[in-house]
Structure 1
């Protein structure tokens, strides 16, 4: 029994510094949010920014509510802070990229409900397409863009994308599959055994491969 108590105290002691650090990150985010200007001359962009900002602050509110609970898991707290951070990062997209999302009828606001990796990859692809600059693509997306540009594909499997991106697991390929499907770049089933159909007539796809 004494051993169990000792173990429990050790776990609590090791968890507290993490929670303190996390709380520090949350407070920094709160300070950042207080200085963010959600403004635009374009009413559509302004509304979009407000939606994203509200989603970011809601995550921070969720964190502040959850941290007061005695038995809340540390991972539950990190999820809220992480999503608050990456939701807010969507506001870092410049006006030209925001305008591109409107031009291509991309529902950027829906990204607030996706994973952080989804948001990071989406930002990279949209910025590159908006600025007509392949150097703004992340390494994995650039490799995929070059592969698609070199050879036309009517279908793509998750395994193919994984090899092109040079990743040891299919995680990133699946992230691509999800957001490419949301953009209409591919038509995909839930099963990885079924290849994605490349929508070559899709405007975002055309913009992507023409970089």
Structure 2
């Protein structure tokens, strides 16, 4: 009976191109994770990598559990695979960036439960700072970096960052607020409209504006 149910689900998935793509992506992420190593000569880096890999694998386990449910929305399946993918991407930071993370005592594993865009933007930020290369920033972060460097602003609010980034919504600006607060670049306020103090003595801030 279980085999018949499994076959029926497979047939249903094949009849749904989107779900089929999700299943294929899940298999790709499993193979990707299996290939990613967590070994490091530095104990702290190794601990962070293990935590990140475990978080990615947990997402894939969540996916496997959800796919067994009779009534499950494609979005519920996709979100687990997507988070597994972006968690895995944190393991793919190059050696120089990982050394920078260690040097600046940044808790990279703290990002595993954040949104995919948060992780994506954090990757760009850290890689650019580690390599001292502004070209590694995405467009929105590059605009913000230019503004902070040229104005030496003492404070910023989410609406101001949204305007600088040229975005229609405050979502991306909020991601910057969250990870910048986590690594000490700004002192975040609860309200997005309230100005955040820019911590100019913070070494990561100095690395960012010096690009």
Closer, same or farther: CA 29–13 of 1 in aligned 2, 3 Å: closer
* Structure 2 Cα separation of the partners of residues 205 and 35 of structure 1: 34
Deviation at 1:43, TM superposition (A): 2.2
1:35 alignment partner in structure 2: 35
Q: Deviations over 1:94-142 (max 9, x none)?
A: 1111111111111100100100011011011111111111111111111
* Structure 2 Cα separation of the partners of residues 82 and 138 of structure 1: 20
- Does residue 47 (structure 1) correspond to residue 47 (structure 2)? The answer is yes
Closer, same or farther: CA 152–36 of 1 in aligned 2, 3 Å: same
* Structure 1 Cα separation of the partners of residues 47 and 170 of structure 2: 35
Deviation at 1:188, TM superposition (A): 1.3
Deviation at 1:21, TM superposition (A): 1.3
* Structure 2 Cα separation of the partners of residues 62 and 106 of structure 1: 28
TM-score (normalised: structure 2): 0.90
2:76 alignment partner in structure 1: 76
> What is the root-mean-square deviation of aligned Cα atoms in Å?
1.6
* Structure 1 Cα separation of the partners of residues 138 and 88 of structure 2: 19
* Structure 2 Cα separation of the partners of residues 188 and 44 of structure 1: 27
2:120 alignment partner in structure 1: 120
1:176 alignment partner in structure 2: 176
The answer for unaligned runs of 5 or more in structure 1 is 1-11
2:58 alignment partner in structure 1: 58
* Structure 2 Cα separation of the partners of residues 120 and 199 of structure 1: 23
The secondary structure found in structure 2 opposite 1:168 is: coil
Kept in 1, the 8 Å contact 2:158–2:173? The answer is yes
Closer, same or farther: CA 197–15 of 1 in aligned 2, 3 Å: farther
* Structure 2 Cα separation of the partners of residues 171 and 147 of structure 1: 19
Kept in 1, the 8 Å contact 2:14–2:20? The answer is no
Structure 1 stretches of 4+ with a deviation exceeding 4 A read 12-15
Residue correspondence of structure 1 range 180-191 to structure 2 within 5 A: 180-191=180-191
Deviation at 1:14, TM superposition (A): 10
Closer, same or farther: CA 153–15 of 1 in aligned 2, 3 Å: farther
Deviation at 1:203, TM superposition (A): 0.9
The answer for unaligned runs of 5 or more in structure 2 is 1-11
Deviation at 1:15, TM superposition (A): 8.0
Q: Deviations over 1:141-200 (max 9, x none)?
A: 111111111111111111211111111211111111111111111111121221111111
TM-score (normalised: structure 1): 0.90
